[in-house]
């Protein structure tokens, strides 16, 4: 058995960022539990052809770890994974980083005022638990009648099977979201692709370029120049919030750019119409690509403008009734984002699971703490995602909030922070009010930002990064119950569950 002050679950951007924040605050009594063989999270798991970030690389990194040698404006996935491995090495996490250590369960022990964590056979006791599990970890596999009858290879884009020979094969790609937009052009170079599109995406030019060796050297030699670039990219990202959130003028301008991009790259009017969304700009995630439309317009790709309805052996039947033959199926169908799988594994006061608390959609205070789950912090959870800027910035702000909360915890004789239900309710109402008129709720689409069970916006933060910083900075500890208040979740402080 291991006893630590803080246990962090996950070694992606959020988990490593949390470890860095603890260390810089002089808190070295922590452990990072990671189920994979390396750090990296999403960037370890996603290895599909063409995988890359759609946030400028010099903004998609830790403020404390600038990386002057990014190869391009938008870094490819393997390079981001290597960056995270380098960060972990530079931070000298040593035995604090436990790889190949899945968390099978975590339960709050009220009598001992700590979390008991089942870490794959070992019990870890932690005064505080930080869930940095990510929101894009568990692939969503749709229920498609007859899918099990398909005799060829089937795999999700996030679990790419590199042993399958795709050159010359008939490859069906299901989905036209962010992953498909990147991988379809790569597949089209050598394969015969059928693309099943349930809903088209708004796509804008990606742009970007490779950085020269001279530029990389200059960034390395002049960190102030690199810092200025990061600041400029941040401002540009914040400016995009207006068009994504429904500002009339900004949305109209962005929509014009997207339509012009489509018109330039797709000459056939019928195909262009099939690729034109019928919902508001920003309602779903806006994608960046200069290669997707030309690939779809080429002879290598057949666009099936309807969902995959059923499978009969090697025959794939579309919602339109059209039938397509395939040798391989790639499911680019997203993730279980609004209903996080880890929530089933975490039991708070009274034995309630986090999944049960979130039965109507994820809720929290400060997108980080949850009533009924003392000394628990969730990074990249409720309303902590972005559609306009770097998500790394959000997790860094959450990590800073956690460090401040731990100071408050340490002031208390019982060492316990219980979030007030009223604080969660008020924060949830704030989110609902801010989101009410946005395209995410009113734009006429279905998106992964909204929980189907409640119709609430549960993933996106409906504001800028700066607004998130200010909101978390304004938290003064009043979100927590007084130190000696009884629990309002079925027990009194100090009683066993």
Residue 444 and residue 311 share a domain? no
Residue 322 and residue 178 share a domain? yes
What is the rounded CA–CA span in Å between residue 460 and residue 418? Answer: 25
CATH number, domain of 63, equals: 3.50.50.60
**Regions of the chain short of the pLDDT cut 50:** 490-497
- Is residue 280 included in any domain, yes or no? yes
Residue 409 and residue 314 share a domain? no
Number of C-alpha atoms within 13 angstroms, CB side, residue 44? Answer: 17
What is the rounded CA–CA span in Å between residue 80 and residue 377? Answer: 25
> 469: helix, coil or strand?
helix
Residue 348 and residue 413 share a domain? yes
- Is residue 270 included in any domain, yes or no? yes
Give first-to-last CA distance, the chain, whole Å. Answer: 21
Question: Which range of residues forms the domain containing residue 276?
Answer: 147-202+247-331
pLDDT tens, residue by residue, 62-111: 999 999 999 999 999 999 999 999 999 999 999 999 999 999 999 999 99
Task: State the pTM of this model.
Answer: 0.94
Instruction: Give the pLDDT score at 438.
Output: 97
What is the rounded CA–CA span in Å between residue 239 and residue 46? Answer: 29
- Is residue 213 included in any domain, yes or no? no
> 117: helix, coil or strand?
strand
Q: Say how many domains are in the chain.
A: 2
pLDDT tens, residue by residue, 356-398: 999 999 999 999 999 999 999 999 989 999 999 999 999 999 9
DSSP 415-467: ----B-HHHHHHHHHHHHHHHTTSHHHHSS---TTB-TTT--B-SB-SS-HHH
Domain closes at, from 331, 363, 393 = 331
What is the rounded CA–CA span in Å between residue 340 and residue 277? Answer: 28
Residue 316 and residue 169 share a domain? yes
Instruction: Give the pLDDT score at 46.
Output: 96
Residue 342 and residue 435 share a domain? yes
Rg of the Cα trace of the chain? 23
- Cβ burial, residue 100 (10 Å; 0-12/13-18/19+): exposed
- Is residue 484 included in any domain, yes or no? no
What is the rounded CA–CA span in Å between residue 335 and residue 158? Answer: 9
- Is residue 426 included in any domain, yes or no? yes
Residue 306 and residue 402 share a domain? no
Residue 6 and residue 132 share a domain? yes
Instruction: Give the pLDDT score at 335.
Output: 84
What is the rounded CA–CA span in Å between residue 29 and residue 47? Answer: 33
DSSP 327-389: SEEEE---B--SS-GGGGGEE-GGG-BHHHHTTTS---BTTTB-TTSTTEEESS-TT-B-SSS
- Is residue 487 included in any domain, yes or no? no
pLDDT tens, residue by residue, 306-335: 999 999 999 999 999 999 999 999 999 998
Residue 296 and residue 388 share a domain? no
Instruction: Give the pLDDT score at 488.
Output: 58
Residue 126 and residue 17 share a domain? yes
Instruction: Give the pLDDT score at 337.
Output: 74
- Is residue 235 included in any domain, yes or no? no
- Is residue 32 included in any domain, yes or no? yes
By the 8 A CB rule, do 348 and 114 touch? no
Beta bridge partners of 480: 419
Residue 320 and residue 359 share a domain? no
Residue 440 and residue 402 share a domain? yes
State both tokens at 437: 């008129």
Domain closes at, from 310, 331, 352 = 331
Domain closes at, from 331, 366, 384 = 331
């Amino acid at each position: 058995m291991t006893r630590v002050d803080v246990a962090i679950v996950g070694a992606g951007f959020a988990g490593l960022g949390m470890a860095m924040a603890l260390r810089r605050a002089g808190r070295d009594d922590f452990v990072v539990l990671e189920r994979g063989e390396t750090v990296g999270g999403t960037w370890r798991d996603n290895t599909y052809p063409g995988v890359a970030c759609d946030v400028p690389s010099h903004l998609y990194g830790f403020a404390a770890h600038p990386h002057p040698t990014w190869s391009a404006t938008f870094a490819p996935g393997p390079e981001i994974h290597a960056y995270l491995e380098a960060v972990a090495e530079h931070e000298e996490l040593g035995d604090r980083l436990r790889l190949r250590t899945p968390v099978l369960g975590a339960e709050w022990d009220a009598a001992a005022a700590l979390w008991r964590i089942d870490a794959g056979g070992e019990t870890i006791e932690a005064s505080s638990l930080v869930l940095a599990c990510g929101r894009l970890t568990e692939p969503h596999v749709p229920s498609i009648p007859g899918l099990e009858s398909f005799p060829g290879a089937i795999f999700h884009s996030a679990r790419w099977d590199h042993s399958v020979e795709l050159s010359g094969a008939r490859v069906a790609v299901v989905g036209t979201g962010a992953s498909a937009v990147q991988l379809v052009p790569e597949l089209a170079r050598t394969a015969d692709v059928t693309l099943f599109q349930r809903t088209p995406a708004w796509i804008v030019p990606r742009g970007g370029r490779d950085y020269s060796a001279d530029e990389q050297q200059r960034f390395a030699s002049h960190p102030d120049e690199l810092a200025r670039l990061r600041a400029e990219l941040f401002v540009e990202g914040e400016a995009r919030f207006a068009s994504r959130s429904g500002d009339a003028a900004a949305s109209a301008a962005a929509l014009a750019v997207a339509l012009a991009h489509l018109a330039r790259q797709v000459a056939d009017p019928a195909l262009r119409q099939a690729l034109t969304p019928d919902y508001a700009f920003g309602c779903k995630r806006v994608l960046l690509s200069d290669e997707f439309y030309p690939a779809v317009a080429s002879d290598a790709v057949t666009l099936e403008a309807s969902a995959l309805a059923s499978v009969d052996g090697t025959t794939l039947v579309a919602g339109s009734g059209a039938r397509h033959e395939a040798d391989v199926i790639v499911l680019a169908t997203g993730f279980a984002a609004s209903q996080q799988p880890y929530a089933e594994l975490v039991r708070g006061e009274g034995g309630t699971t986090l999944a049960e608390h979130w039965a109507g959609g994820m809720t929290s205070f400060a997108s980080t703490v949850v009533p009924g789950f003392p000394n628990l912090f969730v990074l990249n959870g409720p309303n902590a995602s972005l559609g306009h800027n770097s998500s790394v910035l959000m997790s860094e702000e959450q990590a800073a909030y956690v460090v401040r909360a731990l100071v408050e915890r340490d002031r208390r004789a019982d060492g316990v922070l219980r979030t007030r239900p009223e604080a969660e309710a008020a924060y949830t109402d704030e989110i609902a009010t801010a989101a009410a008129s946005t395209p995410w709720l009113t734009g006429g689409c279905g998106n992964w930002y909204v929980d189907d069970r409640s119709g609430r916006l549960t993933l996106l933060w409906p504001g800028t990064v700066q607004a998130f910083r200010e909101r978390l900075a304004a938290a003064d500890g009043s979100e927590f119950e007084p130190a000696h208040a009884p629990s309002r979740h079925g027990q009194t402080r100090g009683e066993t569950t």
